[in-house]
Amino acid sequence: MRKLILHNHQSPGDIIMLTAAVRDLHAHYPGRFLTDVRTPCPALWENNPHITPISSTDTEAKVIHCEYPLVHRSNQTPLHFIHGFARHLGEKLGLEIRPAKFHGDIWLSEAERSRPSQVAVATGSQRPYWIILAGGKNDFTIKWWETGRWQAVVDALAGQVLFIQAGEAGHHHPPLHGVIDMRGKTDARKFVLLMAHAQGVVCPVTYAMHLAAAVEVIGRKDGRRPCVVVAGGREPSHWEAYPGHQFIHTQGALPCCEQGGCWKSRVAALGDGDEKDNSLCSNVAGRLPRCMDMITPEEVVRRVRLYFDGGFARYFAQGTP
């Protein structure tokens, strides 16, 4: 069995895509590899049966720095992010690795499955809840939507949908009213478990979107979790969207994203010395990129309600799904 140590030091959303590549490697070539990883998010690999501890000093281990250069052809190639790491890893190994499933590979232990959610413990209620992320990383301001618009979504669904506001401490997540505030209160593994019990998710293009697809839904056999994504025009929809998600994009409606995602980083320069200041939106409306300004709270609410109107989800007053 060949020993592999896979390195990647990107964000959690990227690491979820790497979990898929590791799963798919073992699915296509069972018994041929021992794999270990070096990433910033060890919590995303907990309980993963494809991970075997391998010493960094093991001379038999091949070290691979995992990337996804396929992203640079994402506007022209009709492939999803889930193909990115798999393609690159396959090229490094001289093998063909194809996605076996259309989501990342996050594993829960039996103890985690049987544990009540943090929300149930905090509220004493088993009401279903949705996670909402109303912000994002400080360095990619082009992905942000206005706080007032997120608040309008919460207000429109008040009394029907219980929202848990989450977000990493230190990132841009302004507080919302009428939600249970868990911003900065969940480490990486606790957020996985918060997601596992969540009925649905509302967010921009971010880690939570990938996690929503990758984590099983405790109490639901089919494993699908509703997710409404406020996406705009930065990324090609076919590169980011998952089956069953409501991916609200505006590509094709604006010259700047007519041929796919613009892949810009910021609405305005921050003066922080980051090269992202050289990647600015060319079509700004107020403080938002025009592609995000075109998305209204009413449209987001409508997309959330689709899951309820279609019978896939139930409002909390009607009991758990």
Quick: pLDDT tens for 41-80: 999 999 999 999 999 999 999 999 999 999 999 999 999 9
pLDDT more than 70, % of the chain? 97
pTM for the model? 0.94
pLDDT band at 312 (very low <50, low <70, confident <90, very high): confident
**Nearest-CA neighbor of 210 among 121, 80, 112?**
80
CB 313: neighbour CB atoms within 10 A?
Answer: 22
Cα separation, 125 vs 135, whole angstroms: 27
Strand segments, DSSP code E, in 2-141 are: 2-7, 33-38, 61-65, 130-132
CB 173: neighbour CB atoms within 10 A?
Answer: 21
125 versus 82: the higher-pLDDT residue is 82
Q: Are 200 and 313 in contact (CB under 8 A)?
A: yes
Structural tokens at position 309: 């109107």
Quick: pLDDT tens for 182-238: 999 999 999 999 999 999 999 999 999 999 999 999 987 666 899 999 999 999 999
CB 225: neighbour CB atoms within 10 A?
Answer: 28
Q: How far is CA 98 from CA 20, 45, 91, 107, 222, in A?
A: 10, 20, 12, 20, 23
Cα separation, 214 vs 235, whole angstroms: 20
